[in-house]
Amino acid sequence: MIVMKFGGTSVESASAIERVAGIVRARLHQKPVVVVSAMGKTTNRLLEIARTAISGKREDFIRLIHDLRSFHSREARLVVPLSERADLDRTLDELFQELTELIKGLAIVGEITPRSIDAVSSYGERLSSYIVTLAFRHHGIAAEHLDSRRVIVTDRKHTHAAPLYPETCRRLAETIPPLADRSVVVMGGFIGATEDGVTSTLGRGGSDFTASLVGAGIGAEQIQIWTDVDGMLTADPGLVPGAHRVKTISFAEAAELAYFGAKVLHPATVVPALEKDIPVLILNSRRPGVEGTRIVAERVPCANAVKSIACKRRITVVNVHSTSMLMAHGFLRRIFEIFDRHETSVDMVATSEVSVSLTIDSTERLAAISAELSEFSDVSVEHAQTIVCLVGDNIRYTPGVAARVFTALGEVNVRMISQGASLLNLSFVVADADVQRAVEALHREFFAELDPAVFEVGG
C-alpha cells in the first residue's frame, strides 16, 4: 500500500480532480490510500463565514454559505455520474444544512471558540473527500469513502490537536487494509476526533500530517505528497525563479526546511514517517512525470555544502537586557518560564551574559509577555523580520560556510545569528525588506555549481 495526499490546489476544481483520478489510476497496483485537503481556499472561506456570523451580518453569512455550496455542487456535477447525482445532492444538502445550523448558533452566541473553529473548518475536507470518492467511481476506479474522524484520534487541544498515537495506529491498522484490498480508500486530511467523538483538527497544513499518520499506521511502502510544485527546491521560486529541484534529501534536512518556512511540507509530516522509516515523495499533480523529491531516513551525500535556503517571514524579535543579571544564575530560566506560561513558541535564540534575543512567530500574547519581562529587564521588540535558514548536512563538515554567507550578504544588515543547534543549519534574521536581496545573493554563492546526483538544474 501507498499513501497519496493531494493538496487544495490539486483538488481545487473538476479538472484538477480529473487529473488526480488519472494519477491514482496509474498506481492502482500499489493499493493507494488517498488523503485530500479541502478544495482550493475552502477552509479560508469557512472561517470567513464564521467571522461574518459572529459580527451579526446574517444576510452576508447566508450568502457566503450559498456561494460555497454552489461552488462544490458545480464542480462536483462535472465529475460525478448521473447515477450518483441524487446521492450527491442529498449529501450536500445534509452537510450544508449542518453547517448552516452551526453557523446560526455561532451568530446567536456572538463568539467563536477553538472547538467551534474545528467544527466549522472540518467541512472542507468532509466535502472534498466525498466528492473525490464519487469522481473516482465516475472514472472507473472502485473507491470507498472513509470519514477520518473514525480513525484519527486526538487530544482536546482544538485547532492544533495532537494525535493519540496508540489508538490512532490501532484503528488505522484495523480499518484501512481490508478496505484497500478491494477499493481505493479516500479520506479527508487535517481532521480527526477526540476520544469522545468531538471533531478536532491537526492545525493548518495538517493534511500532510494525516498522510504521514496513515502511512505509519498501515505500514505503507511510501507516502506521496502531491502539490503544485516539482518538489523541494533550492529556494522559494517566488524569490529565485531559477531555483533547482532537490532530487533526494534526508528526513532531518527536510524537517529543518519545513520548520523554517519551506511551504511544500508540513513540519510535523516527517515525524511518523521517520519513526517507521517510510520514504516520503514530494510530487507535482500538474506535472506527474517529474520525479519530484525523495525524502529518506539516511544521510544523503552531496558535494554542495547547502541543500536549500528557507525563509520564515513575518517573525518578531524580542530583545531582553538586564545588567542586574550579570554573573547571576537563572536569567534564562526566568525568561523561558514566561514564554512557557504564555504558550508561545520560540524559534531562534542568541544569548550573552546580560542579554537575550529571540524570535517568535505569534504575537498574540506578546503584550503580556513583555509586561512580565519588564519586571526584571529592559525589553524591545522588532516586527517585520525574517529568518533565513541555510540547510545542509555538509554545513557541519565544511569550513568557511559562515564566511561565504556574510561575504555574499554584503551590506544586508544581519540582526541575529544561530548555528550549531541542529548541526544542519545556519540561520540568521534580516528585515523583511531585505529578504529578496539576501536570498538571491546566497543562491548565487552556494548553487553556482551543482552535484548532479542531488540536484536537477533549473527544477
Domains and CATH numbers, the chain: 2-228 (3.40.1160.10), 308-456 (3.30.2130.10)
What is each CA distance from 387 to 45, 69, 251, 415, in whole angstroms? 29, 40, 21, 10
d(CA 344, CA 335): 12
d(CA 372, CA 416): 23
Residue 187 binned pLDDT confidence (cut-offs 50, 70, 90): very high
Residue 269 binned pLDDT confidence (cut-offs 50, 70, 90): confident
Residue corresponding to grid cell 513540519:
267
pTM over 0.85: yes
pLDDT digits (tens, 9 = 90+) for 20-55: 999 999 999 999 999 999 999 999 999 999 999 999
d(CA 108, CA 57): 11
Partners of 69 in the β-ladder: none
pLDDT digits (tens, 9 = 90+) for 337-362: 999 999 999 989 988 777 899 999 99
